[in-house]
Amino acid sequence: MGAAYSENIENGENLTDEEKQKEGMNDSLIHYDFMVGGKDVTVTGVKADRTRVVLLADGEWQI
């Protein structure tokens, strides 16, 4: 969904572009913020090993 915020990881502001890529940070000229939530919304993340983790369900954060 766009560029990652460097300040969201420890010492992120000091990382080179290569180090940011190694950390898995997105790089883009565009960044979008959007709101999610509500009783009818479920957000599920997919980990590197392809297991799924429910992040948001029934309007409540699960993590």
Query: For the chain, what is the radius of gyration of the CA atoms?
Result: 14
Buried b (16+ CB within 10 A) or exposed e, 18-57: eebeeeebeeeeeeeeeeeeeeeeeeeeeeeeeeeeeebe
Q: What is the pLDDT of residues 19-60, one digit of tens each?
A: 998 988 888 888 788 888 888 999 999 999 999 999 999 989
Q: In which element (H, E) is residue 19 found? A: helix 17-22
Torsion of CA 62, 40, 51, 9, to 10 degrees: -50
Q: Is the pTM of this model over 0.75?
A: no
Given this model, what pLDDT does residue 28 score?
A: 86
Given this model, what pLDDT does residue 52 score?
A: 97
β-bridge mates for residue 42, sequence order = 57
pLDDT band (50, 70, 90) for residue 1: low
